[in-house]
């Protein structure tokens, strides 16, 4: 596609529920990244997929967070048993190479009530 597409754009969920956030990267981009943006905290790296290699999960804050990337394209970030501190904007980005910078999606704003 023309850009990185994320859905839903907004999600309100009750504490304790599971949520799934979707990312459609730019066609042909081999690398896909998830970040979390909280007020005053900048962008926090969560997870990185590169081709068929094992993902770099070093940024996931707890075992309630997981992500997968099917067929080297679409990715889903899953948060189980959501907590209020999970409220943030979740951003997805993709790239075709490391030197080009990333193209970001518009994000999913998650609110846990």
Smaller CB separation from other proteins, 41 or 84: 41
Contacts of 100 (CB under 8 A, 6+ apart): none
Give residues 74-113 in contact with other proteins (rule: CB under 8 A).
Answer: 91, 93, 98-99, 101-102, 104-107
How many CB atoms are located within 10 Å of the residue 93 CB? 22
Residues 40-79 within binding reach of other proteins (CB under 8 A):
40-45, 48, 50, 53, 56, 59
Judged by beta carbon, residue 21 or residue 82, the one nearer other proteins is: 21
Cα separation of 23 and 47, whole Å? 13
The Cα–Cα gap between 62 and 88 comes to: 15
Distance CA 23, CA 108 (A): 9
- The smaller minimum CB distance to other proteins, of residues 31 and 82, is found at 31
Which stretches of the chain bind other proteins, using CB under 8 A? 33, 35, 40-45, 48, 50, 53, 56, 59, 91, 93, 98-99, 101-102, 104-107
């Amino acid at each position: 596609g023309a850009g990185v597409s994320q859905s839903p754009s907004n999600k309100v969920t009750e504490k304790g529920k599971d949520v799934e956030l979707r990312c459609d990267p730019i066609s042909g981009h081999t690398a896909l990244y998830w970040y979390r943006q909280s007020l005053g905290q900048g962008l926090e790296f969560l997870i990185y997929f590169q081709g068929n290699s094992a993902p770099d999960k070093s940024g996931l804050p707890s075992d309630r967070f997981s992500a997968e990337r099917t067929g080297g394209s679409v990715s889903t970030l899953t948060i189980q048993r959501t907590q209020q501190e999970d409220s943030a904007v979740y951003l997805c980005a993709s790239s075709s190479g490391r030197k080009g910078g990333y193209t970001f999606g518009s994000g999913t704003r998650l609110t846990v009530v």
